[in-house]
């Protein structure tokens, strides 16, 4: 190579650089100083490489453009997301503030525990209740704060931690004196994840002090009311006994005089005496009945009785009143009327008697009709409609509702002209309502009235053993009970005089004793078919005497014992049944009722003697 060779090569290389190659290719060629000949030889390769560089630049620019556009879009999206996130964060913060505002301003304590009973959340109400700050409470076991409450509350806290139940309910107490004591109700349930695993407990504690205080006041009020009712019952029982005891003598003596006296000159006076004593007795019964109804202490029997004989009794009772006024009283019966039904014959007779008595009282001309009609019937029950129709003074339409109010009558002149307390119709109405019926009235003022009601009775089998007592229709003057041995335990001298007169007339063998101890001794020494036992006697009362007799040997202890009582309270009747008495006779007694009861037991003892 000549001395000028390098310069030529450099110039050739420069020429090569002047060709339109890519800058990166030129840089590589310059770096390795490839000679022109070689360049010429590999020119096609260099052109291909150059083209590749150019193509790569185009791809890079395209990619850069895409990245730039994506970056701008991503930037915009990021800005939008940032704004939305800020908005959501603001909403969440607002919700949290409102939630905190709510939970921290309610009276109830809200708490959350983990599975170890550690408090993880609690609201501000906790501070008010316990005086312990939230910071002190968080992270401590709930059982740590048992000392804030009475010892009886400890079990509730233990259940929160150690009990496996899904729910925990309990009562927490705070304070000792009644004036400072507070009650809280705790309700809690376990928190479970999607897999059903328990992750903790959430609960609420509510202040129920006002509720508990109200409950306590209600209990005290109820106890006071019960004591008042008991005192009222005791008063009514005592007054009933005190009034009925002398009245028993008056009624009994008037009945005896009427039975024995045939002098027409004295008969009217005796009838007036009997009417007045019966009226006084009815007045007392009405007052006592209404008191029992208002106290909700009326009970109803469900025994078999004969409708026919009940109607015979009503007919014989009220015939005298109607004949005295010169009006008719008749009873109409449906041919389909059953012979016997189950119900309370005493209350039914009371209702019908009251309505019939009123009808006769307010009727001057014409008459009164008691009409019985079967309105519905099936195999087990029968519904009977009772109508009491009169041709009396009637009731003004504006006064119909008033007649069912206690101590009220249609107008003030009614009381002056006809008498009465205004209790009869309210009592009938209430008695029917308690039996699922309703007393209705239709009236044409100046022409008459119709009172009616319907009762659904259970049918009764017409067997003698079921209704023998209601079927007995006796004449207390003539029918004898010869050989019937009666023991009477009664301490009132006038009552003894009355009852022994009737027992003599009925042909019984009787013995009188004056207290319960004498009754027990008499039963031990002699045989009796029945005992009439007064309840209130000196030395030993009728209850204790009955219990003592029921403990005697078999031949003595099953003797029928009937309570002689002037009390109408359910408590007395129940106590008499509890000690073993078979039945009761109200004082003052109706001779017919007493005789009918004795006849029932007379036949019963005779049948037992035959069977033996």
Higher pLDDT, 411 or 105: 105
Question: Over the stretch 449-495, which tens digit does the pLDDT of each residue have?
Answer: 999 999 999 988 754 444 444 444 444 444 688 889 999 999 888 88
Residue 517 confidence (pLDDT): 96
CATH number for the domain whose boundaries are 298-471:
3.30.565.10
| Cα dihedral 124→128→134→140 (10° resolution) | -130
**What confidence tens digit (pLDDT) does each residue in 517-569 have?**
999 999 999 999 999 999 989 999 999 999 999 999 888 889 999 998 877 66
Identify whether the C-beta of residue 261 lies closer than 8 Å to the C-beta of residue 224: no
Q: Using the predicted structure, report yes or no on whether residue 269 has a pLDDT greater than 60.
A: yes
Q: How far apart are CA 259 and CA 319, in angstroms?
A: 18
| Mean pLDDT in residue range 284-289 | 72
DSSP assigned state of 364: S
**Tokens 């791809």 identify what position?**
59
Q: Of 44-48, 471-475, 500-504, give the range with the top mean pLDDT.
A: 500-504
CB contact at 8 A, 160 and 175: no
pLDDT at 417: 45
Query: Long-range contacts made by residues 157-161, C-beta under 8 angstroms, separation at least 24?
Result: 160/113, 160/117, 160/188, 160/201, 160/203, 161/113, 161/116, 161/117
Query: Per-residue pLDDT for 304 more than 50?
Result: yes
Mean pLDDT of all residues in 178-185: 82
As a whole number, the mean pLDDT across the chain is 81
pLDDT tens-digit readout, 113-164: 988 889 998 888 888 888 889 899 899 988 888 888 888 788 888 887 766 6
186-190, 253-257, 290-294, 469-473: segment of lowest average pLDDT: 469-473
pTM: 0.51
Residues 57-65: what's their mean pLDDT? 82
Residue (of 522, 526, 504, 512) closest to 564 by Cα position: 512
Which of the given ranges, 21-30, 95-104, 217-226, 466-475, has the highest pLDDT on average? 217-226
Of 124-133, 391-400, 435-444, which has the strongest mean pLDDT?
A: 435-444
State residue 17's pLDDT score: 45
Q: Residues 61-65: what's their mean pLDDT? A: 83
Distances (CA, A) of 20 to 15, 26, 151, 433: 10, 9, 101, 123
- Dihedral of CA atoms 373, 377, 380, 381 in degrees, nearest 10, equals -40
- Tell me the pLDDT band of 382, cut-offs 50, 70 and 90: very high
SS3 226: helix
**Whole-angstrom Cα distance, residue 584 to residue 22?**
136
Q: Are 389 and 418 in contact (CB under 8 A)?
A: no
- pLDDT of 303 > 60? The answer is yes
Highest-pLDDT range among 244-258, 337-351, 416-430, 534-548: 534-548
Q: What percent of the chain has pLDDT over 90?
A: 23
What's residue 295's pLDDT? 66
What is the Cα–Cα distance from 36 to 84, expressed in whole angstroms? 65
Taking 90 as the threshold, does the pLDDT of residue 438 lie above it?
yes
- Give the highest mean pLDDT range of 195-199, 242-246, 358-362, 604-608: 358-362
Torsion sign across C-alpha atoms 498, 502, 505, 508: negative
562 or 98, which is more confident? 562
109-207 is a CATH 2.40.37.10 domain: no
What pLDDT, on a 0 to 100 scale, did the predictor assign at position 516? 94
pLDDT at residue 253, rounded to an integer? 77
Residue 173 has pLDDT above 90, yes or no: no
Question: What is the token pair recorded at 318?
Answer: 């009220």
Looking at residues 321-343, what average pLDDT do you find?
90
- Encoded tokens for 486: 């009666």
DSSP state of 224: H
Tell me the C-alpha to C-alpha distance, in Å, between residue 408 and each of 388, 398, 420, 425, 513: 21, 14, 10, 9, 46
Average pLDDT, integer, range 367-394: 94
CA distance 124 to 559: 76
The pLDDT-based confidence of 103 (bands split at 50, 70, 90) is: low
Q: Quick one: pLDDT at residue 213?
A: 87
Least confident of 104-108, 197-201, 510-514: 104-108
521 contacts: CB under 8 Å, gap ≥ 6: 513
Please, which pLDDT band fits residue 609 given cuts at 50, 70 and 90? low
What is the percent of the chain where pLDDT is above 70? 84
Mean pLDDT computed over 232-250: 72
Q: What's the confidence (pLDDT) of residue 11?
A: 47
Give how far the C-alpha of residue 92 lies from the chain's centroid of Cα atoms, to the nearest Å.
50
């Amino acid at each position: 190579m000549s001395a000028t060779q390098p310069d030529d090569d450099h110039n050739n290389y420069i020429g090569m650089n002047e060709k339109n190659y890519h800058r990166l290719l030129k840089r590589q060629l310059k770096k390795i100083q490839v000679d022109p000949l070689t360049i010429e030889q590999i020119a096609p390769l260099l052109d291909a490489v150059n083209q590749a560089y150019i193509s790569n630049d185009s791809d890079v620019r395209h990619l850069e453009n895409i990245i730039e556009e994506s970056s701008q879009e991503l930037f915009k999206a990021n800005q939008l997301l940032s704004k939305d996130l800020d908005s959501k964060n603001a909403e969440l913060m607002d919700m949290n503030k409102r939630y905190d505002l709510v939970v921290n301003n309610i009276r109830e304590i809200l708490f959350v525990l983990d599975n170890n009973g550690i408090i993880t959340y609690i609201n501000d109400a906790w501070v008010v209740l316990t005086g312990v700050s939230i910071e002190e409470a968080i992270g401590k076991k709930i059982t740590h704060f048992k000392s804030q409450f009475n010892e009886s509350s400890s079990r509730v806290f233990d259940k929160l931690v150690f009990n496996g139940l899904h729910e925990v309910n309990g009562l927490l107490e705070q304070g000792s004196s009644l004036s400072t004591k507070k009650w809280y109700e705790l309700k809690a349930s376990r928190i479970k994840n999607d897999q059903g695993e328990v992750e903790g407990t959430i609960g609420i504690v509510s202040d129920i002090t006002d509720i508990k205080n109200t409950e306590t006041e209600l209990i005290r009020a109820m106890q006071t009311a019960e004591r008042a009712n008991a005192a009222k019952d005791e008063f009514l029982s005592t007054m009933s006994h005190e009034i009925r005891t002398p009245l028993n003598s008056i009624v009994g003596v008037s009945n005896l005089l009427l039975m024995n006296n045939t002098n027409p000159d004295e008969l009217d006076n005796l009838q007036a005496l009997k009417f007045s004593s019966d009226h006084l007795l009815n007045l007392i019964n009405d007052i006592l009945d209404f008191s029992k109804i208002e106290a909700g202490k009326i009970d109803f029997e469900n025994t078999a009785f004969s409708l026919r004989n009940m109607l015979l009794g009503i007919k014989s009772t009220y015939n005298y009143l109607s004949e005295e006024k010169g009006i008719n009283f008749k009873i109409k019966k449906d041919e389909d009327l059953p012979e016997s039904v189950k119900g309370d014959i005493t209350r039914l007779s009371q209702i019908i008697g009251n309505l019939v008595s009123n009808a006769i009282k307010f009727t001057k001309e014409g008459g009164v009709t008691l009409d019985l009609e079967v309105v519905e019937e099936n195999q087990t029950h029968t519904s009977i409609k009772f109508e009491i129709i009169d041709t009396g003074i009637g009731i003004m339409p504006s006064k119909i509702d008033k007649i069912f109010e206690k101590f009220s009558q249609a107008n003030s002149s009614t009381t002056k002209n006809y008498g009465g307390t205004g209790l009869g119709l309210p009592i009938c109405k209430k008695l029917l309502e308690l039996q699922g019926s309703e007393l209705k009235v239709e009236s044409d003022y100046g022409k008459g009235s119709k009172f009616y009601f319907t009762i659904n009775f259970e049918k009764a089998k017409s067997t003698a053993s079921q209704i023998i007592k209601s079927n007995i229709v006796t004449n207390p003057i003539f029918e004898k009970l010869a050989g019937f041995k009666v023991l009477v335990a009664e301490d009132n001298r006038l009552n003894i005089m009355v009852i022994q007169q009737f027992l003599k007339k009925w042909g019984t063998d009787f013995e009188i004793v004056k207290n319960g101890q004498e009754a027990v001794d008499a039963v031990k020494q002699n045989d009796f078919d029945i005992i009439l036992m007064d309840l209130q006697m000196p030395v030993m009362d009728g209850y204790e005497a009955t219990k003592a007799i029921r403990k005697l040997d078999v031949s003595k202890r099953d003797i029928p014992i009937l309570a002689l009582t002037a009390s109408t309270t359910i408590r007395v009747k129940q106590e008499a049944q509890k000690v073993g008495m078979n039945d009761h006779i109200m004082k003052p007694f109706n001779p017919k009722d007493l005789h009918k009861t004795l006849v029932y037991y007379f036949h019963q003892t005779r049948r037992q003697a035959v069977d033996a």
